[in-house]
């Protein structure tokens, strides 16, 4: 084994960077999601987009961060995967109707205001083909950040705080609120938990809510 290979194998940080794993709850239900075009909103470095493209989907991935979009495009091209990564602000995005068999909205809605969240999710649902799926992942009020925000920052909407240092808002969801966003769809699976995040930076915890829902066929 070369020095470089042995270094990567023994260095968990390096191997995480090499191939980040997708959301496991999504992966668990992927066998029942019809293949087609997937939408990844706030795709980041594209761990879900790349995985989906490796498993039978074409992917339209949107993020406002230029660096993430460039990196995702580069990796997709290197691996010859059908991913279109597009730099776009989600609050001004137009989603084409009836195009997608899967919409992934993973760990991004917390950064939007209430009206923006509702509008984006409604548009993503309109973007589904009949029988298409949504995967939603959001932080819950069990997240340690919620107590911290309550103590330190101004609550500008219910459970939404303005974080001055990062010049952004953070919203923490209740389970019913997350489910209500996907009202009208068939609820396939729901999960609430408290988990260690070892995907970036120092290990830390998050309160998480995940929902998988399906647009009825008729």
Residue nearest to ligand SAM (CB): 44
User: Minimum Å distance from CB 90 to ligand SAM?
Assistant: 4
Task: Produce one character per residue of 1-32: b if its CB has 16 or more CB atoms within 10 Å, e if not.
Answer: eeeeeeebeeeeeeeeeeebebbebbeeebee
Q: Does 207 bind ligand SAM (CB under 6 A)?
A: no
Q: Does 53 bind ligand SAM (CB under 6 A)?
A: no
- Three-state helix/strand/coil letters over 88-109: CCHHHCCCCCCCEEEEEEECCH
Sheet of 160-163: strand order equals: 154-157, 160-163, 168-171
**Nearest CB to ligand SAM, comparing residues 68 and 140:** 68
Q: Which of residues 64-123 bind ligand SAM (CB under 6 A)?
A: 64-65, 68, 89-91, 106-108, 111-112
User: Minimum Å distance from CB 14 to ligand SAM?
Assistant: 18
- For ligand SAM, which stretch binds (CB under 6 A), given 43-51, 77-85, 175-183, 189-197? 43-51
**Nearest CB to ligand SAM, comparing residues 31 and 201:** 201
Contacts of 89 (CB under 8 A, 6+ apart): 64
User: Minimum Å distance from CB 198 to ligand SAM?
Assistant: 13
Alpha-carbon distance of 211 to 137, in angstroms, equals: 7
Q: Does 43 bind ligand SAM (CB under 6 A)?
A: yes
User: Minimum Å distance from CB 139 to ligand SAM?
Assistant: 9
In angstroms, what CA-CA distances link 12 with 8, 9, 45, 158? 7, 7, 18, 39
Interface ranges with ligand SAM (CB under 6 A): 42-44, 47-48, 63-65, 68, 89-91, 106-108, 111-112
């Amino acid at each position: 084994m070369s020095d470089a290979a042995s270094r990567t194998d023994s260095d968990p940080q390096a191997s995480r960077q090499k191939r980040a794993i997708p959301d496991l709850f999504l992966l668990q239900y992927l066998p029942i999601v019809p293949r087609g075009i997937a939408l990844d909103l706030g795709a980041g470095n594209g761990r879900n987009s790349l995985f989906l493209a490796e498993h039978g989907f074409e992917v339209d991935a949107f993020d406002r961060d230029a660096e993430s979009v460039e990196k995702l495009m580069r990796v997709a091209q290197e691996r010859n995967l059908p991913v279109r990564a597009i730099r776009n602000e989600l609050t001004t995005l137009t989603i084409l109707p009836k195009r997608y068999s899967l919409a992934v909205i993973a760990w991004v809605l917390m950064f939007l205001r209430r009206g923006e969240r509702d509008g984006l999710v409604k548009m993503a649902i309109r973007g589904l083909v009949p029988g298409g799926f949504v995967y939603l992942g959001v932080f819950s009020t069990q997240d340690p950040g919620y107590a911290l925000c309550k103590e330190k920052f101004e609550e500008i909407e219910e459970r939404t705080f303005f974080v001055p240092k990062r010049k952004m808002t953070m919203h923490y969801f209740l389970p019913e609120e997350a489910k209500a966003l996907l009202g009208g769809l068939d609820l396939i699976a729901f999960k609430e938990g408290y988990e260690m995040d070892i995907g970036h930076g120092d290990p830390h915890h998050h309160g998480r809510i995940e929902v998988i829902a399906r647009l009825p066929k008729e």
